[in-house]
Amino acid sequence: MSAVRNALVILFVVFGVVACSSQPEEQVSVPLRERGSFLEESGVSSTEETVASETDEAVVSESDESHVSETDVSETDENVEPEPTEEYEVAGYVQKGPFTIGTELQVRELSESLIPNGKVFSATIRDNAGAFAFRGSMTSPFAEFSASGYYFDEVAGALSSGQVTLTNIVDLRETTDMNLNVFTHIAHERVYVLVDGGATL
């Protein structure tokens, strides 16, 4: 009887060991929230947080540079005094025969050495005689007037078949009447040559 009891005890012990070894180990999962706090406490930051931080710093830096640049430009503009201007008025005719109504004249403002300063005005022929009038506020009294267009050929009694260009250089302090014709066109080329050679106006 005791032998049977001992055999049963041995069987229970064996089955108990097998049952314990066959149970799967429990996996411990850490919530994402706790994982993030652990990373923060350990000084490790995610890639996204790093990129966001660098982007914010770049935006702030660009904003500061833009602010400084705009301030510098504003201060520079305030320190620049506008050039004094004067109102000039002149009238005359464009003729080789008379240029046609509506032909545009270009008025280029010149420096004392006859270099264009970038300011350009315009006027228009207003009648069949080739008359025009110009008024403008300019920083220099020197100007080059030029007109390109068709004209009435008085010899042929008809409109010209092609366009011509006539030019004149004027000191607007000296006159309020001036014309553009073949003679002024030839003279204006001579004026440029003289000024390039050292002559003064």
pLDDT digits (tens, 9 = 90+) for 11-28: 444 444 444 444 444 444
Is residue 136 in a domain?
Answer: yes
The answer to whether residue 189 is domain-embedded is: yes
Lowest mean pLDDT among 5-9, 14-18, 121-125: 14-18
Parent domain of 112: 86-196
Q: How far is CA 43 from CA 38, 40, 46, 175, in A?
A: 9, 5, 10, 84
In a domain, residue 173? The reply is yes
In this predicted model, what pLDDT tens digit does every residue of 152-173 receive, in sequence order?
A: 998 889 999 999 999 999 999 9
Residue 67 lies in a domain: no
Per-residue confidence band for 82, with pLDDT thresholds at 50, 70 and 90: confident
Question: Does residue 103 sit within a domain?
Answer: yes
Instruction: Return phi, psi of residue 105, to 5°.
Output: -100, 140
Q: Which residues, in sequence order, are CB contacts of 52 under 8 Å at separation 6+?
A: none
| Structure confidence at residue 78 (pLDDT) | 60
53 located within any domain = no
170 inside domain: yes
Instruction: Transcribe 80-145 into DSSP letters.
Output: PPPPP-EEEEEEEEBBTTBBPTTPEEEEEEE-TTS-EEEEEEEEE--STT-EEEEEEEES-SEEEE
How crowded is the C-beta side of 41, counted as CA atoms within 13 Å?
6
Q: Is the dihedral of CA 7, 10, 12, 18 positive or negative?
A: negative
Residue 163: CATH number of its domain: 2.60.40
- The answer to whether residue 115 is domain-embedded is yes
What DSSP element (H or E) covers 69?
helix 47-79
Asked if the model's pLDDT at residue 99 lies above 90, the reply is yes
Domain count, the chain: 1
> pTM for this one?
0.59
